[in-house]
Amino acid sequence: MSEPAKNPFDMLLDQIREVVRQEISAALKDQQKGVTKDWLRAEELAELYGLPKTWFQERGRAGELARTKPGRYVLFARRDVETFLERNKKST
């Protein structure tokens, strides 16, 4: 007895699953290597540093933090943010 023909949508889903697996695998490898992004959006900085995204946006608009907008998103350089935070930290 022969196998029934596979539904074209099932084949498409299989291809999508494989691509997703590859992307997840690559992301996990990067994470294990300690690869970090040099340019981050305000949302990513908020998650990383535990501050509201509006805090970064306001500092950028005020000119206190350098920012760039090469396309759709406003980006901040990680090193500039870390320098700013270090320079403005208060000792307790």
pLDDT, tens only, 16-41: 999 999 888 887 776 666 657 889 99
Eight-class DSSP state of 3:
P
79 falls in which pLDDT band (50, 70, 90)? Answer: very high
pLDDT, tens only, 42-72: 999 999 899 999 999 999 999 999 999 999 9
Contact 16, 27 (CB under 8 A): no
Residue 2 has pLDDT above 70, yes or no: no
Residue 92 has pLDDT above 60, yes or no: no
